[in-house]
Structure 1
Amino acid sequence: MAETITLYTNPMSRGQIARWMLEEVGQPYEMVVLDYGEGGMKSADYLAINPMGKVPAIVHDGRTITECAAICAYLADAFPAANLAPPTDRRADYYRWLFFAAGPVEAAVTNKALGFVVPEGRERTAGYGTFDTMVDTLEHAVSGPGWICGDQFTAADVYVGSQIDWGLAFGTIPSRPVFEAYVARLRERPAYKRQKEMDNALIAQMQKP
């Protein structure tokens, strides 16, 4: 029997990251689109899946996974034939930058968007130090000509790449030649194009009067 994957998402959310990863994996999946209201992400049925009441989440043969970085890493391990994770003895950069994006990048971008600035002299209290330090470090992560793990595209590129792609689109991450070049490579991937086409179509449908 085929393994069942269900994606809980909204096209105007980080659910785009999970869908992109699923498209990279290449396995069939079912999709449940939820709105942000009481009948969707805040419904009792969905809160039983993710008590945070947010998307995305995936359920794979009865196993629930939330948080985009975790979804990316889980799917890479669950479907090794897709070759989206390096061999275990070559995962230093893979883990390092996947968790860097989930921690310091996410926190720094969110805090800046909310107008919060780390007080001078308190940088050690914040996991990312300063926003500028985070951006410089992120640039280092994707400064090579290929991918985060060298020649191999991995789940880390899906997650880190989504952060940079969205950051450039919404102005939450400054434009730099390294970021622009990296995102240009990402946007050429067939799975990326399929995800954008599907989610953009859903957004257009949802925005119809």
Structure 2
Amino acid sequence: MYTVIGKQLTRCYRVLWALEELGQEYDLNPALPQSPDVLALNPSGKVPILVEDGEAITDSTAIITYLADKHGQLTAPAGTLARAKQDAVTHMLLDELDAVLWTAARHSFILPEDKRVPEVKDSLKWEFARSLNRLEARMQGPYLMGEDFTIADIICTHCLNWAYSAKFPLENKALLEYSKRMRSRPAFQKVAASVK
């Protein structure tokens, strides 16, 4: 059985959602970033952490990629063109959505106050909106990769939810509809119901 360390309202949500989609059992330790439980397994103090057979894996994308590959679901097979295209979309999401949201968070509440530059958030919102338009142009069907739900959809939906809570404008109608469909998935709903 897997153990997931981290609170649901962090990138840990991605891991829990993937595990639910895969039908895998897990225990959740809702430890906070920088807590002793987290620092014991990840010197950066970041969550999520997946523990399997006493081994810790960090970084939400690395974890869900591992889980998808191991269980043969939520991903195109490694070494295929379909996987290369999926990886390209995944990296675009991380570079152009997740990184922008993380930078905004850092300048809102993570960095020490004297290191924050709140004025940067306007340019980040502009950049985020531009990236959403490019993402829409890449969509190939009901899911990012066409007819199959993949880990890219988990990352994208998490970013769209994060953007909404961070008050980033979400005006792209196609992606709003997409996000609504993703959030209606039973596995997503099960994790949402567990948030305390």
Compute the TM-score of the two structures, normalised by the length of structure 2.
Answer: 0.80
C-alpha displacement of 1:116: 5.4
1:67 to 59, 62, 74: 59
State the distance in 2 between where 1:192 and 1:66 align: 21
1:134 aligns with 2:126: no
Structure 2: runs of 5 or more not aligned: 108-117
State the distance in 1 between where 2:88 and 2:160 align: 16
1:21 to 5, 18, 21: 18
2:156 to 153, 160, 163: 160
1:42 aligns with 2:39: no
State the distance in 2 between where 1:148 and 1:105 align: 14
State the distance in 2 between where 1:67 and 1:86 align: 20
String of CA shifts for 1:107-146, please: whole Å, max 9, x gaps. Answer: 223334533549x9xxxxxxxx9444423223334x4431
State the distance in 2 between where 1:85 and 1:162 align: 17
Q: Is the partner of 1:157 in helix, strand or coil?
A: helix
1:183 to 175, 179, 182: 179
Q: Is the partner of 1:65 in helix, strand or coil?
A: strand
Q: Which of 1 and 2 has greater Rg?
A: 1
Q: Is the partner of 1:73 in helix, strand or coil?
A: helix
Q: Is the partner of 1:31 in helix, strand or coil?
A: strand
Structure 1: runs of 5 or more not aligned: 121-128, 204-209
Q: Is the partner of 1:7 in helix, strand or coil?
A: strand
State the distance in 2 between where 1:181 and 1:30 align: 32
String of CA shifts for 1:59-91, please: whole Å, max 9, x gaps. Answer: 1223321111111111101111xx211133111
Report if aligned partners of 2:144, 2:152 keep a CA contact under 8 Å in 1: yes
Instruction: Give the letter aligned to residue 70 of structure 1.
Output: A
Give 1:126's aligned residue: none
Report if aligned partners of 2:164, 2:170 keep a CA contact under 8 Å in 1: yes
1:77 aligns with 2:64: no
C-alpha displacement of 1:58: 0.5
1:86 aligns with 2:91: no
Q: Which has the higher helix share?
A: 2
Identity of aligned residues (%): 28
Instruction: Give the letter aligned to residue 56 of structure 1.
Output: P
* Distance 1:169-1:139 versus aligned 2 partners, 3 A rule: farther
Report if aligned partners of 2:2, 2:51 keep a CA contact under 8 Å in 1: yes
Q: Aligned pairs, how many?
A: 181
Q: Is the partner of 1:91 in helix, strand or coil?
A: helix
1:7 aligns with 2:11: no
